[in-house]
Structure 1
């Protein structure tokens, strides 16, 4: 592969990495991570609501990593309200997991920007150390991909396994019990997934540029020494 082709590939990978950093930074501050509906279980049981009547007890909720909004329905009209995770919900949610998600998301932005710098340096500069060359490109791309995967796993676990939506809906609700009716991940979550896949794609682009994966060495057979061994 010619030097020009390598520059084009590195520029493409660097541009993708920078776009990921911008996308994740934008997604981090929005509330478009999870959206769903919540059922006022207590109210529905009191009037034995079924069919069309049950819709009067189904409200909406959406939230991100820092704040969100909900509209509770208990048969007497909606009760819209906004909420924030810090400091309001720290005692109601798995706080350590939630803080870890935010920390790794912020670190992913930094890693993506560092990876962008390394790609551009290899495209237009002259790498002079191992970490400035292909090894550094593989390293930061792998770290970014791993960090993004970790955020996806942690956030999915917090929402699905720890019933985050129900905990938010039932926060400071003494007389009513709410149950998750439907929930699905929103745009910001899928942006993070795409960015994680892009960092994995960058690893493939580095290999396409002609650089071997780290810690792989071609084994050359020495036929002459093999023949001497056979003689003895």
Structure 2
């Protein structure tokens, strides 16, 4: 694939603190991305809130900003550096959430910054519980019975009809943060309230539990030309 000559400077979003659900692989992949971009002659700017990483070593990027990974600080960096593109997908859930907020608030358009890698529509389809469920139904993939909840009033109504046990799945959270298994209405109200509070969209999905089923997971990489490789599988 030829290099896009319209790109001269790229802002890379780091993954922030290493925590359960977002571990050192993002530090490694982000560091490699910075090096690869520089090898192609691009100027690389990095924003990351964690100084104790390989990614924030001075030689990794042309400029490194150790700042909170918030919309306000990211906009300051964008205004200062004026990058042509933003690469968020190597920053894990943190990078995806921040890039989504920057796009939705119009900040990327304001400064003429292109979102590189995964398109915004694809990020939203994967992170928004309702959009993901609807997409699975459109392509004929079976999904468990579920309810989308965006307020405590809706949660109370669902608590009266949901089958127990049920699963609470917040949208746009790291490693399932705020989710859990509810075995009765009281637990659903408690877990659901926490999930709504922690979700960037204040959205959770209450889903029929599949406890006891066997789970088989594949990790697959595919490019725009439909070349695919199975990285690993787990049972």
For normalisation by structure 2, the TM-score amounts to: 0.23
Higher strand share: 2
For normalisation by structure 1, the TM-score amounts to: 0.23
If asked which structure has higher relative contact order (CA below 8 Å, sep 6+), I would say 1
- Which structure has the bigger radius of gyration? 1
